[in-house]
């Protein structure tokens, strides 16, 4: 890399809810009933990571990978739903901020899921341009078609006989929400079409078109670039035509994503920049195995648990890196890597470390040596695992300790696991592992002492969807109604934005 004298282009692709083994290992995909030849090619021509750890859910994982910080530090530890009245604070530093300060062109496409207020829009978080959905795939069914199919109940009340015992029929619906926004740094954004099933179906196609156009423009300008593409990939409404033997929603979405990744790799070669472009792609968390929509096609594979869990199945995901001529092909890397490491590694590769803030804890470590030198050259042998706001488990090497388990209230926990001998965390070991008890106590103590020194920061709060030049009347009404109520009531109705409810996914999901 140093001999080339060029800073690499960096592309980060992250999709939803995938079990380790569902990608990159053809035999397991054959069992599961689908193929992804282009993603397999990324693995074959680059690195397949066996120990990529993420956060256990969508919003936390996205906050972690962008800021290099565990999401509990940024107030982004819970999955956001509309209307959220909040999002990632502008005081956080993202990979886009850091790389833009170092001269990179930056762009974001598709699923954001980091808030719905102006402060947190991607083009206000370091990206030069963005085309994004503020929320997640559930919005795919918030339309008359989804209501008619009972995929979403009463989202289109005009289609249903009115329930006569509800005073405020609209109170339960997220009126005025926005499905897609386009914008550039320093400018007002615009809503891109109104929410509908048709709009949702076009999101990833439009994002991919814009992404390729952005890359081509930077090649002409001879500017290094950082592109983040987090595809929606699927919706929660069934697709009418099944093109995989599995028939599941996830397999159908992966088929489309796999085609685009093949197109992307070919285009990078045609542009003559493949050997100067790092592509990192991975899932954001484990599969949705708890209460999934019908026909999703998700399942545990090697590890136990899934989305929301602190077991390996919730936080250990398929992940790959591709950089022709720099990364040796065909590697299987068993070093631990956490998604926060991408923040620091990207900064190092982009010669942007001087722009990383030093007034906060950055959890990500520099894994450049792992990419360049391969297996056993990682700089991490531990992981702190959170489930929401709860510190749920610690991994050190091959040993894992569950902190959230029966008996923890008394201070006695036998939940130690050897992840090589017991990858499904089914047989806790006390006597064989008791010698690690105090060592794990010290690991956690050091972590929490740093939290005491550098306390967690809150998420940003505000009125959703301000700063849009073409906001619809119902979108503008979100803030107008609250401001009007503020003048008429003897209390401030906006206080709810600063209140953190004591329920929800901040409690760890204990897997049976």
Q: What is the three-class DSSP state of 145?
A: helix
Residues belonging to the active site: 58, 113
| pLDDT value for 258 | 96
pLDDT at 511: 45
Structure tokens at 487: 């003048």
Residue 246, C-beta contacts closer than 8 angstroms, at least 6 positions apart: 32, 33, 34, 297
Q: From the CB of residue 45, how many other CB atoms can be counted at a distance below 10 Å?
A: 19
- What does the pLDDT read at residue 257? 96
Burial environment of residue 367 by CB neighbours within 10 A (0 to 12, 13 to 18, 19 or more): buried
Residue in this structure with the two tokens 């530093």, named with its chain if needed: 93
Sorted by sequence, the CB contacts under 8 Å of residue 481 that are 6+ apart come out as none
Q: Tokens standing for 111?
A: 């699923």
Could you tell me if 89 and 459 are in contact, meaning their C-beta atoms sit under 8 angstroms apart?
Answer: yes
pLDDT at 334: 98
Per the CB < 8 A criterion, the answer to whether 26 and 41 are in contact is no
Full set of structural domains in the chain with CATH: 9-165+172-381 (3.40.720.10)
Handedness of CA 47, 266, 131, 92 (dihedral sign): positive
CA distance 448 to 443: 9
Low-confidence ranges of the chain (pLDDT < 50): 1-3, 406-411, 506-508, 510-512
**DSSP for residue 8:** P
Tell me what pLDDT residue 503 has.
65
9's enclosing H/E stretch is strand 9-15
pLDDT of residue 185: 97
pLDDT at position 512 is: 41
Neighbours of 6 (CB within 10 A): 12
Spatial CA neighbour of 285 closest among 61, 75, 505: 61
- The closest of 58, 29, 506 to 307, measured between CA atoms, is 58
Residue linked to tokens 């390996």: 312
CA 62 to CA 60: how far, in whole Å? Answer: 5
Q: What percent of the chain has pLDDT over 90?
A: 71
pLDDT of residue 506: 45
Entry pTM? 0.94
Spell out the SS3 assignment of 184-248.
Answer: ECCCCEEECCCCCHHHHHHHHHHHHHHHHHHHHHHHHHCCCEEEEEECCCCCCCCCCCCCCCCCC
Neighbouring C-beta atoms of residue 217, cutoff 10 Å: 14
* Encoded tokens for 294: 């019908």
Place of tokens 């982009």: 350
């Amino acid at each position: 890399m140093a001999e080339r004298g060029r800073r690499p282009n960096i592309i980060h692709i992250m999709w939803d809810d995938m079990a380790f083994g569902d990608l990159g290992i053809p035999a397991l995909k054959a069992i599961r009933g689908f193929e992804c030849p282009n993603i397999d090619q990324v693995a074959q021509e680059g690195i397949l990571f066996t120990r990529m750890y993420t956060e256990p859910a969508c919003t936390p994982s996205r906050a972690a990978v962008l800021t290099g910080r565990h999401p509990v530090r940024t107030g982004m530890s819970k999955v956001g739903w509309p209307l959220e009245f909040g999002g990632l604070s502008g005081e956080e530093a993202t990979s886009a901020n850091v790389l833009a300060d170092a001269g990179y062109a930056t762009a974001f496409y598709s699923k954001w899921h980091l808030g719905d207020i102006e402060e947190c829009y991607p083009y206000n978080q370091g990206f030069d341009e963005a085309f994004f959905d503020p929320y997640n795939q559930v919005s795919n069914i918030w339309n008359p078609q989804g209501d008619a199919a009972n995929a979403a109940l009463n989202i289109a009340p005009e289609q249903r006989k009115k329930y006569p015992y509800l005073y405020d029929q609209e109170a339960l619906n997220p009126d005025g929400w926005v499905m897609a926004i386009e914008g550039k740094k320093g400018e007002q954004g615009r809503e891109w079409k109104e929410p509908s099933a048709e709009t949702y179906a076009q999101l990833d196609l439009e994002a991919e078109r814009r992404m390729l156009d952005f890359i081509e423009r930077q090649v002409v300008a001879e500017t290094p670039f950082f592109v983040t593409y987090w595809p929606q990939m699927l919706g929660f409404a069934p697709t009418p035509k099944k093109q995989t033997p599995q028939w599941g929603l996830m397999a159908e979405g992966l088929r489309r994503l796999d085609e685009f990744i093949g197109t992307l790799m070919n285009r990078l070669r045609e542009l003559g920049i493949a050997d100067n472009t790092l592509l990192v792609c991975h899932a954001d968390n484990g599969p949705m195995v708890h209460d999934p929509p019908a026909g999703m096609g998700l399942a545990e594979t090697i590890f136990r648990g899934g989305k929301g869990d602190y077991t390996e199945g919730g936080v250990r995901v398929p992940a790959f890196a591709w950089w022709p001529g720099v990364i040796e092909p065909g590697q299987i890397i068993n070093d631990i890597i956490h998604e926060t490491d991408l923040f620091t590694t990207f900064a190092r590769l982009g010669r942007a470390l001087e722009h990383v803030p030093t007034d906060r804890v950055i959890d990500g470590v520099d894994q450049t040596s792992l990419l360049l030198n391969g297996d056993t050259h990682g700089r991490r042998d531990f992981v702190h695992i959170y489930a929401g706001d709860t510190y749920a488990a610690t991994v050190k090497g091959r040993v894992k300790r569950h902190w959230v388990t029966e008996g923890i209230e008394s201070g006695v926990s036998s939940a130690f696991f050897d992840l090589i001998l017991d990858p499904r965390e089914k047989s806790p070991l006390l006597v064989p592992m008791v010698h690690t008890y105090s060592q794990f106590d010290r690991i956690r103590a050091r972590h929490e002492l740093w939290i005491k020194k550098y306390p967690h920061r809150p998420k940003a709060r505000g009125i959703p969807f301000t700063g849009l030049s073409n906001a619809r009347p119902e979108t503008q009404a979100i803030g107008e109604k609250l401001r009007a109520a503020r003048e008429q009531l003897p209390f401030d109705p906006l206080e709810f934005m600063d209140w953190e409810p004591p329920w929800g996914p901040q409690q760890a999901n204990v897997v049976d």
